[in-house]
Amino acid sequence: MLVKTKTTLVASKAGIFPFDGCTADSIYDIEEAEIDYCCKLMEKAFQEEFIGFGEFNVDRPLNKNNNVNIFHCSPYPEGAVWDEMAIELCPWCKEKIEILNIEIKLL
């Protein structure tokens, strides 16, 4: 399975960009651009949002998670907590999941 992504960067106050040595005040957003699914079951899981790229974005405007994740919801009376667990292989066909960044934009 191949997930192609686009990354948008905003320079921090110190002028450091969010690559390997990023600082906490750096802002960036990673979004999926194109997905080549490995099997029909993985495609269906993405459509039904059991599995997806990045964070489970309910009210978050930015995604910093560069993984394909299994999503899990823990409901509480006060609200729900969404967790994600990164996976490296398709749970059904066992094909390796690859993530390729095809574009970096600087704002």
Better-predicted residue by pLDDT, 28 or 39: 39
Hey, what are 15's tokens? 């002028």
- State the CB neighbour count (10 A cutoff) for residue 103: 11
- Note the pLDDT tens digit of each residue in 29-78: 888 999 999 999 999 999 999 999 998 876 666 788 899 999 998 999 99
Q: Please, what's the largest Cα pairwise distance for the chain? A: 46
- Note the pLDDT tens digit of each residue in 66-100: 999 999 989 999 988 888 999 999 999 999 999 99
Q: Which pTM value belongs to this model? A: 0.76
Predicted local distance difference test score (pLDDT) of residue 13: 52
Predicted local distance difference test score (pLDDT) of residue 22: 53
CA angle 80, 99, 12 (to 5 degrees): 70
> 78, 105, 99, 106: which is closest to 2 by C-alpha?
99
Work out the pLDDT band at 24, boundaries 50, 70, 90: very low
Predicted local distance difference test score (pLDDT) of residue 61: 66
| The total number of structural domains that make up the chain | 1
Hey, what are 79's tokens? 């609200």
Domain membership of residue 92 as a residue range: 2-106
Task: Give the residue-averaged pLDDT of 15-34.
Answer: 65
